[in-house]
Chains A and B, each alone.
Chain A
Amino acid sequence: MTSRRAPRPAFASALLAALLAAAPALAAADATRERGPRGEGVVRPGGSERPATAPATILHRSPGGEPVAELPSRPGRRAPRAEPVALRAAPGRSATSTARGHVVVRFADGVPGWQAEQLVAGLGARALRPARFGAFARVEVAPGDTAEALLGRLRASRSVAWAEADPLVHAAYAGPAAVRAAAAPNDPFFSRQWHFHRIGLEEALARNPSDGAGVVVAVLDSGVAFGDGATFPTRRGVDLEGTSFLPGFDFVDDDDQPFDEGTGDPGEIRFGHGTFTASVIAATIDNGVAGASVAPRVSILPVRVLDTDGFGTFSGVAEGIRFAVARGAKVINMSLGGAGGSSPIAEAVADAARAGVVLVAAAGNEAEDEAFGDELENDVAFPARYPQVLAVGATTFDDSRAAYSNFGPSLDLMAPGGGDNEEVVPGTRDGVLSTSFLFDPRTGEATYGGFWATGTSFASPHVAGAAALLVTLGVDDPAAVRRMLEVTASDLAAPGFDDATAHGLLDAAASHRGIGFTF
């Protein structure tokens, strides 16, 4: 997070420090169109200016200040019945797009680094920090200045191709609070993972013996608990022992340790959002532990773009996308979203799609909030809204659209994401059941196990995993993957496509049965 960095005394030393920090990642990155820093700070032109937009700053839908799960070490404390909470900004953050104190800039073609440096300094900006992946730079707003004023001055310069705010993104975790699953010793979770049965997972895996082997799925999230350490956060998740992982990157802390530190309100118990998402996609199966997953033999590429508050920036997500493409990801899952979008992420999405990558993102959970109409304009969040991205909404146990799930003309597909997480049948809740952890920063205690959670965050990985399965069958073109999933989806609500449920509920089995001449 840029807001946590100490002020840099001079541009040159700051640039040198940034280059040194980025050197390992740069050295390991494949050659792509969008390389990292060019030494002199010149960035490539392109893109168009976008007006600054306010982000949607929706938090977990859980009452503040209360435990979010039943912890076995504290008997008697029960998961509270969650009530919808009013929209509020994260403590310590403003509701504007420059909550992180910087803007993003692309300089015009041919502008040398020294000129860019002079321009930034002359405008009173604090530092110029080129993106590690992407043809743009971050310019920090100096104390006493405002992002809007700085953007105005930047845009007035001929040396600037575009300058815009860097909207926030956040985890699309709807809550209510993640509920610890009580697993009977002899009862694997799979029998209660209704969401997998609902998408025909058993038949799909029966038709596809590869289980996704050979496909890299990037999880752009809060990181993943995939390490081999003994303690949090380097410990591996409970059902990820047999899961294949590739070396990822942490764009929040700028290091190569994308371990999941959990997300939650500051000072409160954190939930392993990214670990849960990765588990839905590729938890180890047939190991007698916990439950199943959609594509258990894919390789997960962890990319941390969300901090412990569950927030990130579009520019960080853009870098994460480019990193994932460079690392050979064929499917990218983004269980996050925000309002407005930005040029860096629009370009990253377009480039990734052209490179043959299937992009999947959560539609967002603001449908019951004022932000849905005001900031999201009655449509899904970004990056799901981009046409190259499969926007995934959430359904409940009874196959209806979850009340919180964003909808609109940009919605593409539905997948189980759970409803109110209440028990529907004994032992089964209206939520997604998988594995992750809870971490209490006050005590330093982490609890790993199975949890019920809800949100479009956990609908999206169902589609990402199904896409990975299709890729193993040779459906290599992202447009073909999209067509296969959309045409074979189970129609919901009104016949045909509708804004509420799009093409319908993901049917992994039907997608493996193939498409017909006219259906």
Chain B
Amino acid sequence: MDRSRRRRRPTRPAPASADPPSRARGGLRAGQAGPAAALLLLALAAAPPAAGQPADPPEAPPRTPPSWAAGLRAGLFDMTNSPDAYDAVFGDPMPRLGAQLELDALRRWRFALTLDYGTVDGERVLLTDPPRGTGVDEELTTLPLHLTAAWRFRPRAAWDPYLGAGPSLLDWEDESEGTSEGGTDTGGSVVLGLRRQRPSPPGVRRPGGWEWGGELRWSTFPGALPDEGAAGFFDEDDPGGLSLTFVALRRFGP
């Protein structure tokens, strides 16, 4: 191999405390033995452990300070937990808009509070096969509130996937021609998301700025729907399901 073409890797200056002091090169001249011996004794007294003993552990990277963010959400929800009843009356996925507040802390944890508002129109049906609309309008409105604790897989990278879960609260109302049914029910959700963010070195506070991403969330509210109407006919009582949401947030310092 032609040595002239070898790539040379640039050397990094070692931190002052990183490396043990290197021994001076070269030998002692005659006549300098006494002072040299004294110096040697002093040097030995101050010398670091000899080779073979373990070096001091490298210093841990500084913790990234917590930060918080707020933003908006937009997405689609499909009531996959009660598909037959929902499809019979409404059919189309429900669009949702919402807001999000989150706190990134403890290096890899994200705590988020999200509130969405969604509404979808449909019509009352006859229980034919398939169900047939009667032209009598119906509207379903939902207001889910999710509290999520998520684990971030790459907190300092530009793309940061996360996985989380947490409790949820759902307020819903089903209305048609003066007849309405509704409730506020508890449940839970699981979320898988991906965030595009500004990367940051360890110990460096991530600079404020915009972030965006998407998440897929599955929610469940068992027993929330009454045993009436299409829900009762198809024996489906959970108004939860899958939602796909786009998120845009502004990050602020702690």
Interface residues of A (CB under 8 A from B): 207, 470, 473-477, 479-481, 483-484, 487, 512-519
Q: Which residues from chain A contact B133 at a C-beta distance below 8 Å?
A: 514
Q: Which residues from chain B contact A207 at a C-beta distance below 8 Å?
A: 134
Q: How many residues of B contact A (CB 8 A)?
A: 33
A516 close to B230 (CB less than 8 A): yes
B179 within 8 A of A: yes
B90 close to A475 (CB less than 8 A): no
B226 within 8 A of A: yes
Which of B85, B132, B232 is the one whose CB lies under 8 Å from A474? B132
Chain A residue nearest to B82 (CB atoms) is A517
Can you give 8 A-B contacts (C-beta < 8 A)?
A: A473-B126, A480-B127, A481-B127, A516-B89, A516-B181, A517-B122, A518-B226, A518-B229
Q: Which residues from chain A contact B226 at a C-beta distance below 8 Å?
A: 518-519
B229 close to A513 (CB less than 8 A): no
B176 within 8 A of A: yes
A487 to B234, CA, bound (A): 13
Which of A470, A477, A514, A519 is the one whose CB lies under 8 Å from B125? A514
A514 close to B126 (CB less than 8 A): yes
A474 to B125, CA, bound (A): 11
Interface residues of B (CB under 8 A from A): 85-86, 88-90, 122-129, 132-134, 136, 138, 140, 174, 176-177, 179-181, 225-226, 228-233
Q: Which residues from chain A contact B85 at a C-beta distance below 8 Å?
A: 517
Work out how many contacts link A and B, with CB atoms closer than 8 A.
Answer: 88
Q: Which residues from chain A contact B129 at a C-beta distance below 8 Å?
A: 474, 476-477
B132 close to A515 (CB less than 8 A): no
Q: Which of B140, B181, B228 has the largest count of A CB atoms less than 10 A from its CB?
A: B228
A97 to B141, CA, bound (A): 57
Q: Which residues from chain A contact B138 at a C-beta distance below 8 Å?
A: 516-517
B127 close to A517 (CB less than 8 A): no
Which of B88, B134, B176, B232 is the one whose CB lies under 8 Å from A487? B232
B181 close to A518 (CB less than 8 A): yes
Q: Which residues from chain B contact A474 at a C-beta distance below 8 Å?
A: 126, 128-129, 132
Q: Which of A474, A481, A512, A519 has the largest count of B CB atoms less than 10 A from its CB?
A: A519
Chain A residue nearest to B125 (CB atoms) is A514
A517 to B236, CA, bound (A): 10
Chain A residue nearest to B224 (CB atoms) is A518
Which of A483, A512, A519 is the one whose CB lies under 8 Å from B127? A483
A474 to B129, CA, bound (A): 8
A513 close to B230 (CB less than 8 A): no
A514 close to B231 (CB less than 8 A): no
B127 close to A515 (CB less than 8 A): yes
Q: Which residues from chain A contact B233 at a C-beta distance below 8 Å?
A: 479-480, 483, 487, 515
Distance in angstroms from A335 CB to nearest chain B CB is: 26
A487 to B85, CA, bound (A): 14
Q: Which of A207, A513, A516 has the largest count of B CB atoms less than 10 A from its CB?
A: A516
